[in-house]
Amino acid sequence: MPKIRLGKDATISGAGLDNDQIRNVSVDFAKAEADVSVRGGGGYRATVGTLKECQITAEIVVHNDEDLDGVRDAFESGDPEDLTISDVGGAISQPFEVMSLSVTQELEGAIVGSVTLKTTAEADA
């Protein structure tokens, strides 16, 4: 029987995120596209991938007032944050920038922060 890897076994660290508070994580890879169509292409559009992008979205279950401080600080500063995440494909370790942070306060649920991070350039040394 094939071994199944569960989401609970994945890890995330850095950018103010604490693995013990993370609930759901989504890792999305994408490429921008460039149109390289030519007249001799038989009527088909030709496309090539260009710049790659990695976006991570995570939910943080808030236990106390300080739980979002690290992420909020990373958002406010705009500085790249080293982030490592283990996934089905192995581990990703890149500088990321916190692009958005929102907090949901449901009447009958836990307060949950939702953070979006995207790959970015290294900070100047």
CATH number, residue 102: 2.40.30.200
| Residue 31 maps to a domain | yes
User: pLDDT band for position 10 (50/70/90)?
Assistant: confident
Is residue 50 one of the residues assigned to a domain?
yes
Angle at 8 between CA 68 and CA 13, to 5 degrees: 40
Q: Is residue 125 part of a domain?
A: no
3-state helix, strand, coil in the chain (%, to 5): 15, 50, 35
Whole domain around residue 90: which residue ranges?
A: 7-119
The number of domains in the chain is 1
Quote the pTM value.
0.79
pLDDT per residue over 85-102, tens digit each?
Answer: 886 667 888 899 999 999
What pLDDT digit, counting tens, does each position of 33-55 carry?
999 999 998 999 999 999 999 99
Q: Is the pLDDT of residue 2 over 60?
A: yes
User: 89 vs 38, 79, 104, CA distance in Å?
Assistant: 36, 27, 30
Confirm whether 1 is domain-assigned.
no
